[in-house]
Amino acid sequence: MIQKAKGTYDVYGEYGKKLLYVEELIEGLMEKYNYEYFRTPIFESSNLFHRGVGETTDIVTKETYDFKDRGDRDITLRPEGTAGIVRSYIENKMYGNHITPVKAWYYGPMFRYERPQSGRFREFYQFGVEAFGSSDALIDAEVISIPVNLYKLLGLKGIKVNINTLGDNESRNNYRNALIEYFRPHIDELCEDCKERFNKNPLRILDCKLDSNLDIIKNAPKTIDYLNDLSKKHFEDVKKYLSAMHIEYVVNPNLVRGLDYYTHTVFEVEASIEGFGSQNVLCGGGRYDNLVEMLDGPKTSGVGFAMGMERLMTALDYEKIELPIINDIDCYVIPMSDNEKEFAIDICMDLRLNGFIVDIDYLSRNLKSNFKQADRLNTKFVIIIGEEEKESNILTIKDNVTKEEYKVKIDNVIDFLDEKLSE
């Protein structure tokens, strides 16, 4: 038997309904925030992710799915969404758009070759937003508010924002130099990956999962001590706007995030979920004022976030949050023989086009088996169509809850069901 690849999963049944509900909620929320839907290719030039995500990140060095296509081009399955959106922004010359900032949202599969575990897969889905063209701290706060409000709408409790700042280029360079001087005497205490990071990007040392409990990591210099006045003001403004939106936040000076392109604001949003452990963090993001330019576009400010849908769905399960998904249907149509099927399917189509959820017997079951099927489908009304109903255009409709039976003219069926279902 052929089985799914390791690190992937199938979506069906009630989980599929829950996932669609959350996706629709996201779509509605993005409409309210006036963000435009973007979709980029699942595979792109490897160079995009190596330059955009960063050569020193774990994603690029250990986790990307890289391959040669038949034209001998280096191709990578996208490991995250931001680089592709930035590429699209540049290639389609959106920086010349008179509507600024350009506010984008995306949703789709990403791919990373990592060890599968609870809430983590090799194929996973991300929802994220990116906003280009504004350096105002107000849009940083707006971007942070989106996942906060989504989690609140879904009923998650104890929503908290962890924020930090890396500062602008000058501040970040000052901090980088301070880290180099700090870690130099301790280089032999670090893991092999961090020894490599020391030479390329020492900020990545702070994000190391293996060395995170070492005292030299915990006592490392903090970004906030190396900010210039401009960077300090930007961070203070972000906090001011978050407070204005009544969003609870905590300044976490150890937060640097795992990607090379961040400047100024970085953040993670978590929920208080009993038994969820380190996976309480549900999304993260930040500002990246150099990324568009790094990928050959004009100097453009940017800010965004991404969240993994699998972790979010697991959080909802842990919290036993009941989503208002539809687990029943309005009508189940039973043609009594093959002679009535054409007539019955015409009625089904008419009802569906008028907004009713309808199913029909496809297996030519007997009446008893059909009523059992109606119960399995949580059917509200059963429409029975025999020779008499077909000839008279008067349908037999049975309330599957009260078991009351009605005779309804075919022209009145829609009004009848509308009235009954609204009671």
Q: List residues bridging with 331 in a β-sheet.
A: 358, 381
pLDDT at residue 197, rounded to an integer: 76
CB 237 within 8 A of CB 137: yes
pLDDT at 87 over 70: yes
Averaged pLDDT score across all residues of the chain = 91
pLDDT at residue 390, rounded to an integer: 94
Q: Which long-range contacts (CB under 8 A, 24 or more apart) does 28-36 make?
A: 29/146, 29/149, 29/150, 29/153, 30/105, 30/129, 33/103, 33/142, 33/146, 34/103, 35/103, 35/104, 35/105, 35/129, 35/131, 36/102, 36/103, 36/104, 36/105
pLDDT at 334 over 70: yes
pLDDT tens digits, residue range 261-318? Answer: 788 999 999 988 877 765 688 999 999 999 999 999 999 999 999 999 999 999 999 9
pLDDT tens digits, residue range 162-221? Answer: 999 999 989 988 888 888 888 888 877 778 777 777 777 777 777 776 766 777 877 888
pLDDT at 252 over 80: yes
pLDDT tens digits, residue range 155-169? Answer: 998 899 999 999 998
Phi, psi of 135 (to 5 degrees): -100, 5
CATH numbers and ranges of domains, the chain = 13-168+228-318 (3.30.930.10), 329-422 (3.40.50.800)
CB 221 within 8 A of CB 179: yes
